[in-house]
Chain A
Amino acid sequence: MEADQQLDEADSEEAETLLPQLVAHLHEHRSELRQEWASRINDAHLLTAMTPQEVFSEVTSVYDNYVEVLETGSVEELRHYARDLSERIIPRGVETHEVIGVVLLLRDVLARSLFEKYRDDFGLLSRVLNAYEPAANRIATTVAGSFVEERERVIRQQEDSLRELSTPVLQVRERLLILPIIGVLDKERAQQLTEQLLGGIRTHRARVVVIDITGVPDVDEAVADHLVKTVDASRLMGAGVIITGLSSEIAQTLVTIGVDLDKMNTVGDLQGGIEEAERLLGFKVVRTEDAQR
């Protein structure tokens, strides 16, 4: 036990002296190792979305950051840089596996150069690797982690903006709302849509709502069921719902799940739906010429 502890202390002491050696080695061979790394990236067909010049300039920055982490032991700077880098490369379609591959390649390149340098003294090589490997793995984890975090952040942001855009509740006449739905209707979106619709009925004092689903490619049974319930919920607030633009697939789904079709007021297209709604509300649209006659 005591012996182990002493050994550990000896190890860490040695690590303290070995790491600066290692860093000095990496500083010394900076240009060739960097070049080697860039060509390995190219050979592996990674980062194809970027030009070779761009890859090289990023490679330089990452290399310097990498060495700095080995030197200082702090990954903060690198994490910051990795975030920034991810922000730039994600919109260009760089994939997670590419980023991880690139970082692992650097680890390999550096390890190879260490083998080269210490090949005559296997014991020393082993100790150098003991110091190098945990630091290298930490760096790989940090870079990959930052990239994935950034990606998730972008995805969340896109989801949020899509959600805001996706369900406008619009008033077209006094007490008449339209709700055009475009895109795939999943369960979460259907719920949110219902909430917005019910709130809209209250604020606009709507009596008729036209829900147009021309832009919905397909719905599953749960969503179709939800749509029917939305009609019920609107009715509870005193508003009638007209559904327009049912595609034949969606109509078939409604029939298959056995929707009570008496409850559903459907009209072929949006124009027909608005005309029907106007009729129900007592509006009459007349051409000015005809009215003058």
Chain B
Amino acid sequence: MPNADRPSPQEPLRVSILRQGGYLIASIHVALDDSQLHRFRDDLLELIGRNRSRGVIIDVGALDLIDSFACHTLRTIAQVARLRGAETVVVGIRPDVAFTMMQLGATLDSMATALDLEDGLAWLANAADTDNPLPSPPGLR
């Protein structure tokens, strides 16, 4: 498993991107500022192409806040990834974070979300299987 947490001209990104079968699992460990989010986005999209991934899981369980810019970035990643043949699911949003996002009006419209890594993997497995009429709960997609 290659680890994409590579050093950069600035400080290293506190994000790990692991390959698991045909999927990429990206875990964000600390809050990222706007430029770091951009680097994360670019790194991840680059890796999707290189690994010919079918699915991407972004684990945000360590984040205390997901603001509108982060939402926007996540949506962009999902849209671009889809164009490159990969489905994206965001996992691990904590209850208090979801509550704050709701109050701020920050949403992940049309993005898939799942409770945790396990559910995220199950969702991707279902999403790939188009014969399955029920890839996700009604709210998901």
Report Cα–Cα, A33/B113, bound state, in Å. 77
Give the contacting residue for B139; candidates A199, A205, A239; CB below 8 A: A239
Q: Say if the beta carbon of A38 comes within 8 Å of chain B.
A: no
Which secondary structure dominates chain A's binding surface?
helix
Q: Say if the beta carbon of A237 comes within 8 Å of chain B.
A: yes
Report yes or no: B115 in contact with A237, Cβ–Cβ below 8 A.
yes
Per the 8 Å Cβ criterion, residues 114-138 of B in contact with A are 114-116, 119, 123, 134, 136-138
For A203, give the chain B residue with the smallest CB separation.
B95
Give the contacting residue for A238; candidates B105, B107, B119; CB below 8 A: B119
A-B contact count (CB 8 A): 82
Chain B residues with Cβ below 8 Å from A201 are 95, 115
Report yes or no: B138 in contact with A280, Cβ–Cβ below 8 A.
yes
Chain A residues with Cβ below 8 Å from B101 are 233, 236
Report yes or no: A233 in contact with B99, Cβ–Cβ below 8 A.
yes
Question: Which of A46-54, A100-108, A224-232 is found at the contact surface with chain B?
Answer: A224-232
Q: Say if the beta carbon of A127 comes within 8 Å of chain B.
A: no
Report yes or no: B94 in contact with A240, Cβ–Cβ below 8 A.
no
Q: Say if the beta carbon of B18 comes within 8 Å of chain A.
A: no
Q: Say if the beta carbon of A195 comes within 8 Å of chain B.
A: yes
Report Cα–Cα, A265/B108, bound state, in Å. 18
Binary interface profile of B, 83-103, with partner A (CB < 8 Å = 1, else 0)? 000000011011111110111
Report yes or no: A239 in contact with B95, Cβ–Cβ below 8 A.
no
Report yes or no: A240 in contact with B102, Cβ–Cβ below 8 A.
no
How big is chain A's contact interface, by range?
20 to 34
Report yes or no: A280 in contact with B102, Cβ–Cβ below 8 A.
no
Report Cα–Cα, A92/B136, bound state, in Å. 55
Min CB distance, A228 to chain B, in Å?
Answer: 10
Report yes or no: B115 in contact with A202, Cβ–Cβ below 8 A.
yes
Report yes or no: B94 in contact with A202, Cβ–Cβ below 8 A.
yes
What 6 pairs across the A-B complex have the smallest Cβ distances?
Answer: A240-B137, A240-B139, A198-B95, A238-B114, A240-B138, A233-B102
User: A residues within 8 Å of B by Cβ?
Assistant: 194-195, 198-199, 201-202, 205-208, 229-242, 263, 265, 280-282
A-B contact pairs, 16 of them (CB 8 A): A194-B102, A201-B115, A229-B105, A233-B98, A234-B139, A236-B97, A236-B101, A236-B107, A236-B108, A236-B113, A237-B115, A238-B116, A240-B136, A240-B139, A280-B134, A280-B137
